[in-house]
Structure 1
Amino acid sequence: MPPEIPQLESLAALVDLDKSSAVPLYFQVAQQLEAAIAGGVLPPGTRLDSEIELADQLGVSRPTMRKAMEFLVDKGLIVRRRGVGTRVVQSQVRRPLELSSLYDDLKSTGQEPATAVLSNTVEPASAAVAEALRLAEGTPVIALTRLRKARDQPLAKMRNYLPALLLEVRTDALERHGLYELIRAAGIRLHAATQKVGARNATAVEARLLGESRGAAVLTMERVAYDDSGTPVEYGTHIYAAARYSFQMNLLMG
């Protein structure tokens, strides 16, 4: 657990309201608090005062302050819990839905990825794995289980399978590099993937691994990646802490 961050004494120095503006006061408050969170002025763990105290500090009504806080709660930037109060939470990692690895995405955005390799074995392909990789059931496959962290916070538990003859995957290399980076280094060109995203509740084991409470929401992703000849080279089943992670999709209208 990260060390507790002292409670912020007053928001008055962070929020400058223009009461003559047409922009609603609650939105001015929410936007400026969001900017302070994004900029690290209010880092994860910062404890905020009650709505009444915050309203007094900023000279706004309690309904205005409540609406601003609800806006931030809805965006996943703060959390309110009985007995704990209101705290800033770790901002979500927003990952685009494209053919890239989580490691690459985190590294490109400066989010300090770290990997703990929980297992690295060769095992017979189950029926589901064999079907995804277009192999005969029982064919040897590399089976990897990893815990990915960002900024020292557990983010994802990843299970990946590759044909055993495809390449050698060393544990020490996995701790320093992303899986797709190692695949590319072996001369394999990733060309396309099929991907399915879902959601469910975490099991007790999953919740403990991700630092969440039992039954917390997790996002799921199942992916098969193909090389430039159309051959499946990797099958992955991942779960992500929904409180710290989301998928982003860009759509173009024709």
Structure 2
Amino acid sequence: MTKTGDRARAVTGPVLGSLDFVLDRGSPVPLYHQFAQQLEAAITRGDLAPGDLLGNEVDLSVRLGLSRPTVRQAIQSLVDKGLLVRRRGVGTQVVHSQVRRPLELTSLYDDLEAAGQGPGTRVVRHETVPAPPGVAAALGLAEGGETVLLERLRSTHGRPVALLCNYLPADLLELDDARLESTGLYRMMRAAGITLHSARQTVGARPATAGEAARLDEEEGAALLTMHRTAYDDTGRAVEYAAHVYRASRYSFDFQLLVRS
């Protein structure tokens, strides 16, 4: 049996490598919750990838020194979150990790990389276009003025998570598809001497269109999170208008709320 603070080893499944879990029996936090939190952290870090199999509940309970109902409750909590799935004849399998992103002026690429999510990018569209009215207003341009339109599909661990549409002033910086697919747009701005200072951002939700569903590997009408952002540099110039959609099944925004005195 595992004692307070002892380290227990999880079973090595058909694909799963060995992982360590620390279960503190003296803690007021229930053991199932401790196990679930550490298992979720392993998925978020990418230690467990989509498709990895966990051992069966009996084997896990023996190796962890936990009762089978405790293991079952922990696994069910992650099934409910969409991180694991039980498949008949296969066992419990990792589906994916959900990306949790703080509401800060950061790039999705940087946030995914910092979280060990293995970001990947495919440029879908990159061309100079006349600014639509709403974009022109956001960027402080004359309606129909030239903008660079970027559409990119962002993935983690090889699975799509977001479809990114960005408009930039045409004279802002030089862009090429190879760099756009190997790094983040904000990194390219910083490398060009552009200092991002602030942004106005709106978060919402809506159903996926047929085109979005096809690119994001979702069903048409599936829930998508939306984000519209206008970013400004340290001179007050609008340097980006973004209209992004994210798979709600794989993505969430984190808010930190403060009491105003």
Matched with 2:158 is 152
Of 167, 170, 174, which residue of structure 2 is paired with 1:168? 174
CA contact (8 A) 2:109 2:119 kept: yes
Matched with 2:222 is 216
Q: Aligned partner of 2:192: which letter?
A: A
TM-score, length-scaled by structure 1: 0.78
Q: How does 1:66-145 map to 2 (within 5 A)?
A: 67-80=73-86, 86-145=92-151
Q: Aligned partner of 1:234: which letter?
A: E
Cα deviations across residues 56-95 of structure 1 (Å, max 9, x unaligned)? Answer: 9987465x55543332234432135789874322112221
DSSP-derived class of the 1:175 partner: helix
Cα deviations across residues 118-144 of structure 1 (Å, max 9, x unaligned)? Answer: 111111111111121121110111000
Distance 2:246 2:93 in 1: 21
Matched with 1:45 is 51
2:215 is aligned with 1:235: no
Distance 1:116 1:172 in 2: 9
Gaps of 5+ in 2: 1-12
- Structure 2 vs 1, CA of residues 85 and 202 (structure 1 numbering), >3 Å: closer, same or farther? farther
- Structure 2 vs 1, CA of residues 43 and 116 (structure 1 numbering), >3 Å: closer, same or farther? closer
2:229 is aligned with 1:201: no
Distance 1:7 1:92 in 2: 21
Distance 1:253 1:191 in 2: 24
Distance 2:193 2:152 in 1: 23
The number of residues matched between the two structures is 246
State which drifts further: 30-39 or 89-98: 30-39
Distance 2:84 2:252 in 1: 16
Gaps of 5+ in 1: none
Shift of 1:174: 1.2
Q: Aligned partner of 2:135: which letter?
A: V
DSSP-derived class of the 1:243 partner: coil
TM-score, length-scaled by structure 2: 0.77
CA contact (8 A) 2:226 2:246 kept: yes
Matched with 2:192 is 186
2:254 is aligned with 1:248: yes
- Structure 2 vs 1, CA of residues 193 and 165 (structure 1 numbering), >3 Å: closer, same or farther? same
- Structure 2 vs 1, CA of residues 80 and 135 (structure 1 numbering), >3 Å: closer, same or farther? farther
DSSP-derived class of the 1:147 partner: strand
* Aligned-pair identity (%): 56
CA contact (8 A) 1:157 1:238 kept: yes
Q: Aligned partner of 1:129: which letter?
A: V
DSSP-derived class of the 1:110 partner: coil
- Structure 2 vs 1, CA of residues 83 and 247 (structure 1 numbering), >3 Å: closer, same or farther? farther
Q: Aligned partner of 1:242: which letter?
A: A
CA contact (8 A) 1:114 1:149 kept: yes
State which drifts further: 206-215 or 135-144: 206-215
Cα deviations across residues 144-200 of structure 1 (Å, max 9, x unaligned)? Answer: 001112222212110000111222222222122211112222222111001111122
- RMSD between aligned residues: 3.3
Shift of 1:232: 0.9
Matched with 2:36 is 30
